[in-house]
Amino acid sequence: MKFSWKVLVLWTVPALVIGFFFWQGAFASVPADMTKNAANTRMTYGRFLEYLDADRVSSVDLYEGGRTAIVEAVDQDIENRIQRWRVDLPVNAPELISKLKEKGISFDAHPMRNDGAIWGLLGNLIFPILLITGLFFLFRRSSNLPGGPGQAMNFGKSKARFQMEAKTGVKFDDVAGIEEAKEELQEVVTFLKQPERFTAVGARIPKGVLLVGPPGTGKTLLAKAIAGEAGVPFFSISGSEFVEMFVGVGASRVRDLFKKAKDNAPCIIFIDEIDAVGRQRGAGIGGGNDEREQTLNQLLTEMDGFEGNTGIIIIAATNRPDVLDSALLRPGRFDRQVTVDAPDIKGRLEILQVHARNKKLDTSVSLDAIARRTPGFTGADLANLLNEAAILTARRRKEAITLREIDDAVDRVVAGMEGTPLVDSKSKRLIAYHEVGHALVGTLLKDHDPVQKVTLIPRGQAQGLTWFTPNEEQGLISRSQLKARITGALGGRAAEEVIFGPAEVTTGAGGDLQQLSGMARQMVTRFGMSDLGPLSLESQQGEVFLGRDWTTRSEYSESIAARIDAQVKAIVEECYETAKKILRENRSVTDRLVDLLIEKETIDGTEFRQIVAEYTDVPEKPQYVPQL
């Protein structure tokens, strides 16, 4: 059991004080001389007078102003030996001295000593001293703890981590897949190392660089690379560390941070998640946040105010640039906005090569194939993918990562953990028809993405999955491609109705219907791909907290709303009829694919297309071939 130092102090100090006063009460009230001549037994005053009348008393010593006496007398009970007794004398006994003189008995009066007052004074001093010492010890220890009472005077101090020469262990060579962003930021490093190359032609160093991109794309990793490459003092802090519950604390921390930075210029300040402090001022219903807005105002002033911040480069990262204040984004504060987006296939290959350095890969594993199969993956996703594959390899007691572990890791990252396969039953056959419906309709539509894999192995909430490989360079999507995707999404519900009848359709298509309904509505209201003409009838409304148009207002009349609903319904019904027509015309290949899928539980895209090609012509789909 671990004993706390606080408990030790809280118990020791009172114990010492109490013990001291017990000791003081026990000994301070008895004079020192009396303790030396203390008697073994006590005698009453009446018996003392009897001994005195019988001339058996030889000497008397008076103490405490005549209130106590030590008497030496002859005791007849023990062979007339002289004994010492202690006698408590009454207050009013003036005749005692006269009687002692008459009997000729030797007596002596001992004056009272003032030891009790001295001990009382010492006790009154020792108790406060011990108490103050204990409290001082407590406050001194707690001042080193986060949030302790000793930190009360440090609220306004900056919490930024400072490194005179940042040793992050990350260089630009360790960052892959975002070459354009690296090029922009390498110039910042060159500015710091060789400023004369730019000042010679009149260029000035940028004051701020804002890294913008989705989560996991490598914004913080780029900041670490800049710190590792620049070789200048580096301050790093999160935007949330500026804001406290007390108004003015954040602004004080900003001032303290820039004061330290100016003392160490040239240097770099990295603010991660700057949207925590840089949100638009005056946003939200009922006013803004005074603490956050004062912090933002101070940050704006320090970045490009009256005094300026020569020699300080501010690098900030956020995945919400839409909520930032416009004054923060203007040139002079953040001169550059570097977009760090999800990598393309070439970038994914480079990222995989970086993260595969410390992984044992089997010779059959092709990083190029992994890069092709993972469109939309960010750098963090790819790092997690290889790590999951390595964990699966260790779990299966293999010496190297194979393609099977890679495939399972991709499925796990995208869809979730693998569930227990279904037994051969009616439910398994229905799910098989549902998934084959998706894959077959997508395969026979020219503008649909090619199928990659069909499986009956449950993952996450899905009882079965159909994977498609999207074209890599689909920056723009045509109307025919959107309708093909809606038709493919309806392939599962269409297969259930064609094979089992309208009464046996299930809830398995719930997610598909939600997805395709959104696509169909966007075709009508945003992309102008309907009979309503090239009109944008809906826009992306800002959230309430942004402080923009938070009131809900309709951008079209009720008659137009009815026509929008009718157009959405017409698009979905047209695609649904197309999906059912394809499945009716290819019933035999559907049954064969279902039997094979139930037997093998997984069919890859190549085998699937080969079987379909035996029954009908499979349209050629354009394949993206990247320049690696």
pLDDT digits (tens, 9 = 90+) for 509-537: 888 899 999 999 999 998 989 888 888 88
Name the helix (H) or strand (E) containing 138. helix 115-142
218 among annotated binding-site residues: yes
215 among annotated binding-site residues: yes
Q: How far is it, in rounded angstroms, from Cα 459 to Cα 412?
A: 7
Helix (H, G, I), strand (E, B) or coil at 467: strand
* Residue 566 CB partners (closer than 8 Å, separation 6+): none
| 433-458 confidence digits (pLDDT tens) | 999 999 999 999 988 888 888 988 88
Buried b (16+ CB within 10 A) or exposed e, 4-31: eeeeebeeebeeebeebeeebeeebebb
What is the edge-to-edge ordering of all strands in the sheet holding 57-63? 41-43, 81-88, 68-75, 57-63, 106-109
Q: Which of 551, 550, 543 is nearest to 275 (CA)?
A: 543
How many degrees, rounded to 5, is the angle at CA 396 between CA 395 and CA 398? 110
Report the pLDDT value the prediction gives residue 337, as an integer from 0 to 100. Answer: 87
Band (15; pLDDT cuts 50, 70, 90): low
Q: How far is it, in rounded angstroms, from Cα 17 to Cα 608?
A: 88
Band (544; pLDDT cuts 50, 70, 90): very low
Report the pLDDT value the prediction gives residue 523, as an integer from 0 to 100. Answer: 92
| Domains with residue ranges and CATH for the chain | 32-112 (3.30.720.210), 161-339 (3.40.50.300), 345-414 (1.10.8.60), 426-538+554-613 (1.20.58.760)
Report the pLDDT value the prediction gives residue 627, as an integer from 0 to 100. Answer: 42
How many CB atoms are located within 10 Å of the residue 77 CB?
Answer: 7
The two tokens of residue 616 are 């009908």
Band (37; pLDDT cuts 50, 70, 90): low
Residue 435: active-site member: yes
Report the pLDDT value the prediction gives residue 8, as an integer from 0 to 100. Answer: 52
Least confident piece of the model among 27-31, 96-100, 153-157 = 27-31
Is 628's pLDDT higher than 60?
Answer: no
Global pTM? 0.67
Cβ atoms of 437 and 583 within 8 Å: the answer is yes
216 among annotated binding-site residues: yes
| 453-504 confidence digits (pLDDT tens) | 898 888 877 788 888 887 655 667 889 999 999 999 999 999 999 999 999 8
- Long-range (24+ apart) CB contacts under 8 A made by 371-374 are 371/345, 371/346, 372/345, 372/469, 372/472, 373/410, 373/452, 373/469, 374/348, 374/410
Least confident piece of the model among 143-152, 163-172, 575-584 = 143-152
Band (27; pLDDT cuts 50, 70, 90): very low
| 62-76 confidence digits (pLDDT tens) | 777 677 888 887 776
The two tokens of residue 569 are 């319904």
Is 324's pLDDT higher than 80?
Answer: yes
616 among annotated binding-site residues: no
**What's the DSSP call for residue 342?**
P
Band (584; pLDDT cuts 50, 70, 90): very high
Report the pLDDT value the prediction gives residue 462, as an integer from 0 to 100. Answer: 78
110 among annotated binding-site residues: no
Q: Quote helix, strand, coil % in the chain, to nearest 5.
A: 50, 15, 35
Please pick, among 184, 435, 472, 497, the residue that the annotation labels catalytic.
435
Q: How far is it, in rounded angstroms, from Cα 509 to Cα 504?
A: 12
- Considering just the CA atoms, what is the radius of gyration of the chain in Å? 45
Q: Which of 68, 67, 47, 42 is nearest to 57 (CA)?
A: 47
What is the pLDDT of the chain when averaged over all its residues? Answer: 79
Is 364's pLDDT higher than 60?
Answer: yes
460 among annotated binding-site residues: no
% of the chain with per-residue pLDDT over 90: 18
How many CB atoms are located within 10 Å of the residue 98 CB?
Answer: 9
Write phi, then psi, for 363 (nearest 5 degrees).
-65, -20
Cβ atoms of 549 and 541 within 8 Å: the answer is yes
Longest Cα–Cα distance in the chain: 149
Name the helix (H) or strand (E) containing 438. helix 426-444
Q: Tokens 């800049």, residue?
A: 226
